[in-house]
Amino acid sequence: MLPSQLSSGDVIADRRADYAKMLAESGEPASAAELMEQALELVPLWAAGWFTLSTYLEKAGDVQGAVAALKEVLRLDAGDVFGAELKLAVLGGAEVPERPPSPYVERLFDDYADRFETSLVEKLGYTVPGKLAALIAETDGIPNHFRLAVDLGCGTGLLGPEIRDRVDRLEGYDLSKGMLAKASEKQVYDHLAQADLSLGPELSGVFDGGLAAGRADLITAADVLMYLGNLQGVMAIVAKLSAEGAVFAFSVEDAQENDGYLLRDSLRFAHSEAYVRGVLSDHGFAVLDLARSVIRMDGGKPVHGILFVTRKSA
């Protein structure tokens, strides 16, 4: 639940929710769901409570009940800060959306910012920044040094130190203010700002304040595009940012399918190589090099990704 919504505002409902959490943690999700339902009888407008109920019901094997609870979340929270629409799609209760709701992504990473690097790098073996920087360095036919690099979805700035010595100016953009604060602490970015890559060029924030189109000769997106399904919008941003001959280097989770993209149980999107190549071509980019690699662990299992280095056609 959101920190601001851990309490329902009703002491008895909160006590039942606490007991339900203990039951769930002890391996009794069905009993936890029953107790959570009792709490929600007292506070039926508690969106966070309905989302928690859906989790218990799913773990108890009641998918239909979980779907109903998630639909109630969406009824109460139209902005979908919990990502209920994504979860509904995973459970078969809705069509797969083209992108996650922005409030959900922003909240997810704001909550995650303080422990992001410890969790991702030390515990999950996250390796994309180093591998992507190495792939850029190894790719033939592109510059050794860049005038202006734009790091889209920069997060806490893990990629910045990997490419800083190869660029004159480095900009970073992210939806999460919490992540941007962490990136600022590294003191490797010349400019950091909030941006929503799901909204397309005009509304994204990447061009706010008079920042010019066509200004970047290197654009990066490390472990970002898995939070978008349809990549046409973000590629429109990349195309508008790009100077002639600009390099775009990025990673995706590998769908390991022939075409398209899919939404995984992790609520992240995976993209096929063919789909990515098609979207790149639509916006005038050609693939110069790619590498397949395990990019992190998730639930003890390897997550496979594809790293691309591409270039805008002259």
Please report, for the chain, the start and end positions of each structural domain, with discontinuous segments joined by +. 3-95, 108-312
Instruction: Choose among 67, 62, 9, 83: nearest CA to 40.
Output: 9
pLDDT one digit per residue (tens) for the chain, 314 residues: 443 466 788 999 999 999 999 999 999 999 999 999 999 999 999 999 999 999 999 999 999 999 999 999 999 998 999 999 999 999 999 999 999 999 999 988 888 778 777 777 666 778 899 999 999 999 999 999 999 999 999 999 999 999 999 999 999 999 999 999 999 999 999 999 999 999 888 888 889 876 888 999 999 999 999 999 999 999 999 999 999 999 999 999 999 988 899 999 999 999 999 999 999 999 999 999 999 999 888 888 899 999 999 999 86
Q: Give the pLDDT score at 149.
A: 97
pLDDT score for 116: 75
Q: Which pLDDT score, from 0 to 100, does residue 4 have?
A: 41
The confidence score (pLDDT) of residue 257 equals 84
Q: Between β-strands 285-298 and 301-312, what pairing exists: parallel, antiparallel or unpaired?
A: antiparallel
What's the pTM value of the predicted model, to 2 decimals? 0.91
The confidence score (pLDDT) of residue 88 equals 97
CATH superfamily for domain 3-95: Tetratricopeptide repeat domain (1.25.40.10)
**CATH superfamily membership of 108-312:** Vaccinia Virus protein VP39 (3.40.50.150)
Which of 238, 213, 241, 214 lies closest to 228 in space, CA to CA?
A: 238
- Beta-carbon contacts of 153 under 8 Å, excluding residues fewer than 6 positions away, are 173, 174, 175, 197, 221, 222, 223, 224, 227
pLDDT score at 181 = 95
